[in-house]
Structure 1
Amino acid sequence: MKTMMKLFLAGVAFAGPIAAAHAEDKPTIEIMSSWTSGGEAAALNVIKTEFEKRGGIWKDSSIAGFGAADAAFQNRIVAGDAPGAKQGVIGLAAADFVSQGLFNPIDDVAAAGKWADVLPKSISALISYDGKVYLAPTGAHGESWVFYSKEAFDKASIAQEPKSWDEFFADLDKLKAAGLIPVAWGGQPWQQTKVFNMILLSQVGSDGFLKIYADKDKSEASVDGVKKTLEILGKLRGYVDAGAAGRNWNDATAMLITAKAGVQFMGDWAKGEFTVAGKEPGKDYGCMIAPESRGMVYIADSLWFPKTGNAQADKAQKLLAEVVMDPAIQVEFALKKGSIPMRSDVDKSKLDVCAQKGVELMSAGAIVPDQAIVLTPQQVGSLDDFVDEYWSGGSNDAAAAAENFFAIFE
């Protein structure tokens, strides 16, 4: 008996190192993201599940709030302890890390997968630097959406979507008269800037929007457009509740899901929260582009691949890039996240009515980039501060504020 026990223990001791060795051979990666809400987590799990099916080992380092996640990521970079992958937007922030030589290229994966043939040219250009691909796009989001509760609209006797800002404010008055919170407001600077941008696009159009953000145009037309935008933004203050300050976006979405509020200004990732709650677009909630807007502000998510000095992590990065751009994964991810697939060759028939509207605008080129794509992180922060000061300060002097707006580019 003792002899058999010794053999058994010896076998266990021998098997331990073998199991460990097999684990070390598997591509292992730590993912840092800010996708922690119900819909975001479900979408990230689509990638995680497929990555593990293909033999990878996934380590999650999610941090709520992309500002907090970005700060933690920068601290890890400075400390020389970068994660294997980071969820982040496509834009100048990523370009800054690439220029410092801190990211690994994945152009071999992109070439093998013929990404250039299936991605919009503008996206291909934004994920490439000096002829090499560094980012793996996960999906695009429209940011000009106004979501509304069908139940709340019915209670307030609102029969159709408002076409103008005058009609919109008239409907907000009806919601208030019905005892509802008219606007579920996410009271954080970045959310307020999203609202500012969707209003701005409705006032100056796509060309005017690009002149302001890309060309830093300070003409009379641009200043007047900003002034009109601020007037509309300021008017919205009278339709939010006392608890709006600091509110997370998904908590604001929950106010629509429970029909406590009428509308919410938010990117189409809000659909992920409706989906998790079992709500259907067109039946339980509606989606419309901001009044008088002829286009849509968009932002594109991607995965970044920092240099880690770890061969297994480098191997895992390439596997993860393949998974993210798999056509089936692009669709399933979009369904959970509420986004639009980046690939042009996927089956779009599964997308909901809201996503179909977004696809139409994308296909028609009726889109303009979010400020994070065309501005530096410092300028993005200055824009958030500007909008927050105007909103929270309670100023009604839109003309004076409009003149000060362009200081954010200095």
Structure 2
Amino acid sequence: MVKAAKLTKIAASVALVLGAAVAHADGEKAQVIHWWTSGGESAAIKQFADAYNKAGGVWVDQAIAGGEQARAAAINRIIGGDPPTAAQFNTSKQFHDIIDQGLLNNIDDVAAKENWDKILPQPVIDSIKVKGHWYAAPVDIHMPAWIFYSKPAFAKAGITSDPKNYDELIADLGKLKAAGLTGLALGGQPWQEKLTFDAVLADVGGTDLYLKVYRDKDIAAASSPAFKNVLAQYKKLHDYVDAGSPGRNWNDATALLIQGKAGVQIMGDWAKGEFIAANQSAGKDYGCLPGFGPKAPYIVAGDVFVFPKTDNADALKAQHLLATVMTSPGPQVAFSAKKGSIPIRTDVDASKLDVCAQEGIEAMKDKSRQLPNAEMLVAPDLNGALQDVITNFWNKNESVDDAQKAFVSAMKGA
């Protein structure tokens, strides 16, 4: 991602081209950059595209594989004077730098009309409402720490009940390994390793430690025995991944569960889209648990679309139509049914969503369980530095003490 300092240097030159930035827009034609390219993701984004076209627009799909690559492409086009109509980011601080540089339009009119202040969860509001203005349209709520498991794999390993806590999960992974299966299907990429670590931190460490580390940047908390234990518990999982893990994409890890070759995946509920695309049903072919226990923290994450700055009337109209369509009840439910997410709205009929989604919706009703994901709480630079620490610890023969020192050092250097 382009850093804030670099954006500052180019902001003045960007201002010269913004007036004509989206002259290519034709009526309500919308160029939409996103990174949803897997089978389940493609089926989901098509729900928004179809709804936008039915509303009178023309959706121009510009999919770019990989979140980091898609965000970089969007920012490069924005600063280069040829911005898309909308671009995907995570529900986080990823796009706050470009807000600060005045490179995004707000969508206050849409937010006011749709009563976003009343229907959106607070962690989402805190991410997209900056200095009193709404700068992104949220399109889903994902929980990145779901435990998915293959019913056939569990049966083969003789596992007859769901794990009720982290210790039971570790024991089940051992049973799967003993049965000749891959216990934990992990895509060995830095963001997936950090996602898994955060799941362990939230559960084993607890909500208070999680917030002290990420929200409060509390050096004492990160230096504590409790945090050291989180690191040790996280590294236990390494014993249950297979040799093909490094570099594997998340959806390829999900495929191992679908094929019955692996037992468990710790992943966001977007993984359900892959099960759906493979004609597998929640509760029948695979199980889903929202965290490591009945009342585990429900980490709130998701995706948004931002709207690059322009004063072109047609482009503005397209941006407002996109924001309205993407957040409307019908498209929200249709998208969630394919994507595996839950709707961002509380006023929709979600009765047709699967049992996992129903459990997620129920969990979100308990505000005490809602926990912002790490990227909502820390700046991208710090998140990247901490991710580097975690991926080094996972992939190298590094002691827990050294990993803790590296984590603290990264926090101090932020």
TM-score, normalised relative to structure 1 = 0.90
Question: What is the identity, as a one-letter code, of the residue corresponding to 1:72?
Answer: A
| 2:206 aligned counterpart, secondary structure | helix
Match of 1:127 in 2: 128
The CA distance in 2 between the partners of 1:222 and 1:101, in whole Å, is: 38
The CA distance in 2 between the partners of 1:117 and 1:179, in whole Å, is: 50
| 1:157 aligned counterpart, secondary structure | coil
Identity among equivalent positions (%) equals 47
Deviation at 1:64, TM superposition (A): 0.9
Question: What is the identity, as a one-letter code, of the residue corresponding to 1:382?
Answer: A
The CA distance in 2 between the partners of 1:329 and 1:33, in whole Å, is: 17
1:316-365: CA deviation from partner (whole Å, max 9, x where unpaired): 00000110111111111111111111111111212211112222221112
Question: What is the identity, as a one-letter code, of the residue corresponding to 2:314?
Answer: Q
Residue of structure 2 aligned with 1:387, choices 390, 395, 407: 390
Match of 1:251 in 2: 252
Match of 2:265 in 1: 264
Q: Please say which of residues 231-240 and 182-191 is displaced more in the overlay.
A: 231-240
Match of 1:406 in 2: 408
Match of 2:191 in 1: 190
Match of 2:332 in 1: 330
Q: Please say which of residues 240-249 and 170-179 is displaced more in the overlay.
A: 170-179
| 1:349 aligned counterpart, secondary structure | coil
Q: Label 1:166 to 1:112 Cα distance change in 2 as closer, same or farther (>3 A).
A: closer
Matches within 5 A, 1:364-375: 364-365=366-367, 366-375=369-378
Q: Please say which of residues 64-73 and 220-229 is displaced more in the overlay.
A: 220-229
Matches within 5 A, 1:86-101: 86-101=87-102
The CA distance in 1 between the partners of 2:219 and 2:225, in whole Å, is: 10
Q: Is 2:121 the partner of 1:109?
A: no
Deviation at 1:182, TM superposition (A): 1.1
The CA distance in 2 between the partners of 1:297 and 1:228, in whole Å, is: 20
Q: Label 1:316 to 1:282 Cα distance change in 2 as closer, same or farther (>3 A).
A: same
State the structure with more CA Rg: 1
User: 1:189 touches 1:385 (CA, 8 Å); kept in 2?
Assistant: yes
Deviation at 1:161, TM superposition (A): 1.2
Q: Label 1:220 to 1:332 Cα distance change in 2 as closer, same or farther (>3 A).
A: closer
Match of 2:303 in 1: 301
Residue of structure 2 aligned with 1:357, choices 359, 363, 373: 359
| 1:269 aligned counterpart, secondary structure | helix
Deviation at 1:94, TM superposition (A): 1.8
Unaligned runs of 5+ in 1: 1-22
The CA distance in 2 between the partners of 1:238 and 1:355, in whole Å, is: 30
The CA distance in 1 between the partners of 2:222 and 2:49, in whole Å, is: 48
Question: What is the identity, as a one-letter code, of the residue corresponding to 2:391?
Answer: D
Q: Label 1:193 to 1:308 Cα distance change in 2 as closer, same or farther (>3 A).
A: same
User: 1:32 touches 1:62 (CA, 8 Å); kept in 2?
Assistant: yes
Question: What is the identity, as a one-letter code, of the residue corresponding to 2:208?
Answer: D
What is the Cα-based RMSD across aligned positions, in Å?
A: 1.7
The CA distance in 1 between the partners of 2:308 and 2:186, in whole Å, is: 35
Unaligned runs of 5+ in 2: 1-23
| 1:60 aligned counterpart, secondary structure | strand
The CA distance in 2 between the partners of 1:342 and 1:322, in whole Å, is: 13
Q: Please say which of residues 240-249 and 69-78 is displaced more in the overlay.
A: 69-78
The CA distance in 2 between the partners of 1:267 and 1:177, in whole Å, is: 26
Deviation at 1:36, TM superposition (A): 0.8
User: 1:172 touches 1:239 (CA, 8 Å); kept in 2?
Assistant: yes
1:237-260: CA deviation from partner (whole Å, max 9, x where unpaired): 121111110000000000000101
| 1:383 aligned counterpart, secondary structure | helix
The CA distance in 1 between the partners of 2:231 and 2:338, in whole Å, is: 34
TM-score, normalised relative to structure 2 = 0.89
User: 2:191 touches 2:387 (CA, 8 Å); kept in 1?
Assistant: yes
The CA distance in 2 between the partners of 1:220 and 1:250, in whole Å, is: 34
Deviation at 1:34, TM superposition (A): 0.7
The CA distance in 1 between the partners of 2:144 and 2:363, in whole Å, is: 12
Q: Please say which of residues 288-297 and 189-198 is displaced more in the overlay.
A: 288-297
Match of 1:219 in 2: 220
